[in-house]
Amino acid sequence: MTDLPALTELLDSARIVALPMHTRFRGVDVREALLFEGPEGWAEFSPFPEYADAEAATWLSAGIADAWHPRPAAVREGIRVNATVPAVSAERVASVLARFDGCRTAKVKVAEAGQSLADDIARVRAVRDEMGPEGRIRIDANAGWNVDEAERAIHALATFDLEYAEQPCASIDELVELRDRIAYLDIPIAADESVRRAGDPFAVARAGAADLLVIKAQPLGGIERALRIVAEAGLPVVVSSALDTAVGLSLGAALATALPVLDHDCGLGTASLFADDVADARPRNGIVSADRVVPDPVALARLEASAERRDWWIERLTRCHALLAADGR
């Protein structure tokens, strides 16, 4: 990134928020984020706490680009999004889906640590029952299975007419083998972690390890870099959330509106997983807007993180900014 703003420019407007969630998701009950304002508007820096600084710095570059540079021109307006169903019991599925107004697609978390395939089957069955035969169901294992487990699970879940299976296994070699094994089921494989956390985001496409890519604006370093990856990979894509606040979700939606081709509902409806947010970014009739979000000052005050967490995030921001400066980004 050229013209990296001074650290003081970020610190002047930095607000650290802690958003409570309706249901534990991805091991998170409260989602923390650092928000800051630049010449183009508000942006977000929210790599997960366990991520090392080198990886987190890429998320910061995305936020800076969004706050200091105009977004690309949109080629479409509102974005259709999927509902996201955490690894809840089957009895809770209906209440989760009810928070996603008008969504025709659901992404269902599976392969949760401490749960069984029977739990996954019950959850996916409950989603199918709620959505009816017209609904689209995709599953996301977050690399939780080995190849044998993935083959067995996808075979068992195929009866529910899956749109695709997202990141069933961790490695590219495993995805290649699994794709070959389940070819007879005609269920596409989507890659997420193998793209956004990979040193080489194109390796998945070169290896023939996936049928489509799940891309996320923050982890990939922003809209422009994400668009370059999509163009070079040559695979269909789904734009998804990194469990962003309303501010970060608007960045993902802007990426989705800029893509030349977008044939799948996107995973940008995750505001419905939060019990509170800095602005209302929940889907309406299955659609979210790509308009820039201005946080509500009252919500910023209400959701302000503790002094201890503020210090932690400011120190992290400082370290990541130094990495960007040293790298010339």
Q: What is the pLDDT of residue 67?
A: 98
> How high is the pLDDT of residue 195?
87
CATH fold for the domain made of 7-71+297-327 = Enolase-like; domain 1 (3.30.390)
- What are the structural domain ranges in the chain? 7-71+297-327, 79-288
From the options 3.20.20.120, 3.40.50.1820, 3.55.50.30, 3.40.50.300, give the CATH code of 79-288. Answer: 3.20.20.120
CA separation for the pair 233, 227 (Å, rounded): 10
Q: How far apart are CA 245 and CA 34, in angstroms?
A: 10
pTM comes to 0.95
Question: Tokens representing 246?
Answer: 């309303």
Active site residue 107: no
For residues 82 and 271, the answer to whether their CB atoms sit within 8 Å is no
- Catalytic: which of 216, 225, 264, 282? 216
What does the pLDDT look like over 173-227, one tens digit per residue?
Answer: 999 999 999 999 999 999 998 887 767 888 999 999 999 999 999 999 999 999 9
CATH fold match for the domains 7-71+297-327 and 79-288? no
Quote the distance between the C-alpha of residue 204 and its chain's center: 18
List residues forming the annotated binding site for Mg(2+): 140, 166, 192
Bind-site residues: 140, 166, 192
Helix (H) or strand (E) holding 256: helix 246-258
Q: How far is CA 4 from CA 37, 42, 221, 227, in A?
A: 14, 16, 14, 21
| DSSP-assigned letters across all residues of 21-47 | EEEEETTEEEEEEEEEEETTEEEEE--
Task: For residue 279, give the DSSP letter.
Answer: S
Which candidate in 31, 71, 109, 179 is catalytic? 109
Per-residue pLDDT of the chain (329 residues; tens, 9 = 90+): 458 999 999 999 999 999 999 998 888 899 999 999 999 999 999 999 999 999 999 999 999 999 999 999 999 999 999 999 999 999 999 999 999 999 999 999 999 999 999 999 999 999 999 999 999 999 999 999 999 999 999 999 999 999 999 999 999 999 999 999 999 999 999 999 888 776 788 899 999 999 999 999 999 999 999 999 999 999 999 999 999 999 999 999 999 999 999 999 999 999 999 999 999 999 999 999 999 999 999 999 999 999 999 999 999 999 999 999 999 87
Burial readout 193-210 (b: 16 or more C-beta within 10 A, e: otherwise):
bbbbeeeebeebbeeebb
DSSP string, 154-189: HHHHGGG-EEEEE--SSSHHHHHHHHHHTGGGT--E
The position carrying tokens 């998701």 is: 25
Residue 120 burial (C-beta neighbours within 10 Å; 0-12, 13-18, 19+):
buried
